[in-house]
Amino acid sequence: MSTTPLLSVESVHAHYGKSHVLQGVSLQVHEGELVTLLGRNGAGKTTTLKTIAGVMAPTQGQVRFGGKPLQRLATHQVAQRGICLVPEHRGIFKLLTVEENLLLAQRKKSPWQLQDVYRIFPRLKERRTNGGGQLSGGEQQMLAIGRALMNAPRLLMLDEPVEGLAPVIVEEIVAQLRTIKAAGVTILLVEQNLEVCTQLADRHYIIEQGLVAHQATNAEFLSDDAVKDRYLGVGLV
């Protein structure tokens, strides 16, 4: 693991109007890691991802990527540096086919070509001529992740990728994320499904009221029921 983190969020504050939502979030993600942001509804997880992606500007603090500040970069410039956010609403083009959706996201120098994405997501290959709007929720999520890969991410950020999906599809997506991680993509994951998080993650940050309240390795987190009860209101996973 290199000493300079790939991503470093440093005392970041963010506001929606007068509402002070992030109150000094700090976290680091190293190359090759899968790190989760956990926390109750409204804690500030999505806002943290949006601030990293340049969708929202921090009102204080800064985000560094590969050691360089991202401040004042537009969303597309942040994406060009290799940060890809797959938002909760997935943002796929419903009137385009699966293949058109993927090709539209293709960066020339991406190590991820169509066939690589189809290898990880065979369902997308089967459905390649179907419109984005004809896909099931799980297939749409796979397409959203596949599109992000075509964009050559150094950091892939996923906002609740398995929310509302059937358990069998959740298992499929967990296996696919494991493959993507094994291919060397660094992942920052926001997810309420703790079983999914603990199957995949190296480390966890727990966000509470716009601040990191706790951080733990996956092994520490799994053995700490008090933390799960206190910050997440759940028992054993």
SS3 state of residue 94? coil
The vertex-84 CA angle with 80 and 87, nearest 5°, equals 140
Please report whether residue 39 would count as binding ligand ATP according to CB under 6 A.
yes
Distance CA 34, CA 140 (A): 22
**Distances in Å between the alpha carbon of 168 and those of 64, 162, 172, 175?**
37, 11, 6, 11
Yes or no: say if 51 and 37 are a contact pair by the CB < 8 Å rule: no
In the numeric block, which tokens belong to residue 237?
Answer: 């996973």
Q: Which is nearer to ligand ATP, 112 or 205 (CB)?
A: 205
Please report whether residue 234 would count as binding ligand ATP according to CB under 6 A.
no
Task: Give the 3-state secondary structure of 8-65.
Answer: EEEEEEEEECCEEEEEEEEEEECCCCEEEEECCCCCCHHHHHHHHHCCCCCCEEEEEE
**How many residues touch ligand ATP (CB under 6 A)?**
11
Yes or no: say if 155 and 84 are a contact pair by the CB < 8 Å rule: yes
Which position among 7, 9, 12, 21 is part of the footprint of ligand ATP (CB under 6 A)? 21
Span near ligand ATP by CB under 6 A; candidates 37-45, 115-123, 137-145, 211-219: 37-45
**Distances in Å between the alpha carbon of 37 and those of 6, 148, 167, 210?**
16, 19, 21, 12
CB 184, min distance to ligand ATP, A: 27
Span near ligand ATP by CB under 6 A; candidates 1-9, 16-24, 117-125, 175-183: 16-24
Q: Which is nearer to ligand ATP, 46 or 151 (CB)?
A: 46
Span near ligand ATP by CB under 6 A; candidates 35-43, 102-110, 134-142, 144-152: 35-43
Q: Which is nearer to ligand ATP, 19 or 115 (CB)?
A: 19
Please report whether residue 43 would count as binding ligand ATP according to CB under 6 A.
yes
How many DSSP H helices and E strands does the chain contain? Answer: 10, 10
Q: Which is nearer to ligand ATP, 78 or 105 (CB)?
A: 78
| Interface characters, 45-74, with ligand ATP (x: CB under 6 A) | xxx---------------------------
Please report whether residue 16 would count as binding ligand ATP according to CB under 6 A.
yes
Task: Give the interface with ligand ATP as residue ranges (CB under 6 A).
Answer: 16, 19, 21, 39, 41-47
